[in-house]
Amino acid sequence: MVSYIIAVRDFYCDLEDIRHTQAKQSSKQRKPMIGKLEDSCIDGNLWPIKLKIIGIILFSTGATNNEMLLMNKFAKICFPKLLSIHVLGRQYQDMQKLLQDIDSVTEEVTKTKSALEDLLSRNLVRDGSVKKIQDWEKVAENVSSIVTKNEEKFMEILTLSYSHLPRHLQECFLYMGAFPEDSEVPAAKLINLWAAEGFIEPNKEKCSEEVGEEYLQDLIDRSLILVCKRSSSGKIKTCSIHDLLRDLVVRQAHSENFLHVAKSNTDLLQANKTLCRLSIPPDVLLLHATYDSMQSMSLVQSLLCTGTHLINHQFSVYLGFRLMRVLDVVVIHFFEFPMEIIKLFNLRYLGFTYRGHLPKSISKLLNLETIVHHNWTFGQCPSLPQEIWTMPRLRHLYLTPNFLPDPPTAQIDEENYVRLEHLQTLSEVRGFVCKEEVLERIPNLKKLEISYDPVSSPEGWLYYHLENLANLHHLETLKLLVKDPPMSRDISPPILAFPPKLKNLTLSGCRILWEDMTIVGTLPNLEVLKLRNYAFQGAEWETIDGEFCELKFLLIEKTDLVQWTAERTHFPRLERLILKECFRLKEVPSGIGEIDTLNIIELVDCRYSVETSAKQIKEEQESFGNYTLEVRVNAKRTFEDKFYTRILR
């Protein structure tokens, strides 16, 4: 066993001497001992420098891949609620500083250390070899009981970790307390809220969203926030926080008067009347008593009523906070537009659900950066007011869905001509007409979702000018949906052109011929391609060299494709292939299995011959010594309840 664990049984031991001694010993001579962790790094190296959290340090001086994977598995299993664990490489720097850090917390860890030390020294290693994964799960159960019994002490340790964060990360971390326990928070929503609150420091080289992503990654690297799901491109999609850490966040936020989390009207009555941020569950917000209590809180700048399910609005909600910057009440279904919102001139973030049109007066909120408007009136599609074009600070428009009228007919030199320079997200717009004079008003758009009704002739598509999408030079993500295309092949495909910076493309219902795939395959930066619901049609698809040079993720769902011919060179960087409801497809091309980067082939509701071909590809790769390819077969498609744990956007 080459990997070993360094102890802090003696806080004043010379770690440099231990390193040299252990390097001379054989793997059987090395003794496992309990360690201490802090989770900061220097110059990207995984050597801890500043004390953050008590945990385990696993050193590796040449461990095998299997050993490293096993240690990482143990790390993830054994300390999910408290301890951050890093597997370290061969870098050993600033030993004196580490010893000083250990010395500074000797008193804090003495009581909790002994229990963990005894437990792990008995369980981590048996007869000089690492236990099996099943054994680690038993260890984890005992560790959890130790954490529970010493909760107050561990809270002190976690508070110490929090105190070492820079202030902007402290604010972002404390904000996680606004969301319900055990919930998944959309990363984009979280970053937009941070920006609206003013937590994100300006950066001339990067936009606020990019800086926010860095903040989030920093908190994840410190094991303070967890990644729940990643998008097809690998970006963080949803995140959460450990229960124990959330307790710390809520306590600390209350003590600093940063955020008050009210679980009842009694909590509101006892709250500091000068609080600036309030998080409250919908069932409490809708109480008559809550309405009265909130009237005395004139300094509230943020009201967050978050949850995973929609609640019909039955009573009045107090919205008379004139200093309000953030209003997130998307889980409350308003049957009438709350006109009090129009008086919130400082509002940066507005999220709500209302089954109707946004009023023209919404344009008075000139500081708005993010609008989230859920409609939920199925079969109807409201229209945004034309005045939306006069809101120059808008960055994100999330709609479900709306029509977007053309901007006012104004010349560039006129005073009322407004370009939405900062608009990055526009989702979802129904029947979007891509006229040049419209697109030039949104020159920096990065994400666009548009949908259309089926069109029966090429002339019909000319009205929408979809070829002008190529003029959106900063567009990175595009979803283009033709709603419920009929089975008739007479439906005309849209006339398309795409911008070269496009990285993520989803097409649905377009019925483009496979031989016209070149318009997609030649995109130089495309990494994610999702083809849903007859996006392309025809019995045969033969790919060619020189296309899909950067593609990493390919989804083909619901198609009439029968024969697919492809070689390894046609998708040189492909990592994941998903085929869903490809009922006519005969097999997965054998050349796909020869792609060096391919990790996963996933099949859902496909023919038995497709499953057989995928398994044969896997067996062939294993015969060549490639055991990294995973084949997943699901005979029946499963549907995930997205609103069960995920916070509504």
SS (H, E, C) 257-303: CCCEECCCHHHHHHCCCCCCEEECCHHHHCCHHHHHHHCCCCCCCEE
Report residue 204's pLDDT band, with 50, 70 and 90 as the boundaries.
confident
Rounded distance, CA 392 to CA 407, Å? 13
- How confident is the model over 297-307, as a mean pLDDT? 89
The closest of 368, 346, 284, 351 to 318, measured between CA atoms, is 284
Joined together, the tokens standing for residue 609 give 């011959």
CA angle 60, 66, 72 (to 5 degrees): 65
184 close to 647: Cβ distance less than 8 angstroms: yes
Residue 516 CB contacts under 8 Å (≥ 6 apart), including other chains: 493
Confidence of residue 59 (pLDDT cuts 50, 70, 90): very low
Tell whether the model's pLDDT for residue 263 goes beyond 50.
yes
Please state whether 622 falls in left (phi above 0), alpha (psi between -120 and 50) or beta: alpha
Listed in sequence order, the residues at least 6 apart from 78 whose beta carbon sits closer than 8 Å to its beta carbon are 85, 136, 139, 140, 143
CA 479 from centroid of its chain's CA atoms: 18
Residue 13: predicted pLDDT: 32
Query: Which of 200-209, 275-284, 373-382, 432-441 has the least mean pLDDT?
Result: 373-382
What is the C-alpha to C-alpha distance for residues 424 and 448, in angstroms, rounded to an integer?
8
Residue pair 521/541 in contact (Cβ under 8 Å)? The answer is: no
> Does residue 575 have a cis peptide bond before it, meaning omega lies within 30 degrees of 0?
no
Please give the residue that has the higher pLDDT: either 515 or 490: 515
Nearest to 200 by CA among 214, 179, 187: 214
Least confident span in 117-131, 332-346, 520-534, 558-572: 117-131
Give, for 121, the enclosing helix (H) or strand (E): helix 106-123
Can you read off the two tokens belonging to residue 228? 């729940």
pLDDT, tens digit (0-9, with 9 covering 90-100), for 161-191: 788 889 999 999 999 999 998 889 999 999 9
Asked if pLDDT for residue 121 goes beyond 60, the answer is no
Residue 390: strand, helix, or coil: helix
CA angle 111, 113, 116 (to 5 degrees): 125
Q: What is the pTM of this model?
A: 0.77
| Domains contained in the chain, CATH given | 4-150 (no CATH), 165-247 (1.10.10.10)
pLDDT at 150: 59
d(C-alpha 191, C-alpha 430), whole Å = 26
For the beta carbon of residue 595, count every other beta carbon within 10 angstroms.
Answer: 21
Cα maximum dimension of the chain: 82
- d(Cα 290, Cα 307) in Å, to the nearest integer? 18
pLDDT band, very low/low/confident/very high, at 580 (cuts 50, 70, 90): very high
